[in-house]
Amino acid sequence: MRFNGNIQVQEINTIDAIVDVNVVMELLGIGILLTLISSLASMISIIKFSPLIILKERS
């Protein structure tokens, strides 16, 4: 994609961000959900390797 340099861009001077209890709860929920998903993904990959058999063979 080629631009000829004549693009008009509107400058943003201020950003109004309001953080209330609802926003904090949503972020907390998203964080917990991502933690659960990543934990389940790692647990599934570990279970596929049969950890009990691996530990028996090491001793």
pLDDT digits (tens, 9 = 90+) for 48-59: 877 777 777 776
Q: How far is CA 57 from CA 11, 26, 39, 48, in A?
A: 64, 46, 26, 16
Q: What is the 3-state secondary structure (H, E, C) of 5-55?
A: CCCCCCCCCCCCCCCCHHHHHHHHHHHHHHHHHHHHHHHHHHHHCCHHHHH
pLDDT of residue 21: 96
As a whole number of Å, the CA-based R_g of the chain is 24
pTM above 0.85, yes or no: no
pLDDT of residue 3: 62
Mean pLDDT for back-to-back runs of 10 residues, the chain (59 residues): 72 90 96 96 82 73
Count of all residues that appear for the chain in the document = 59
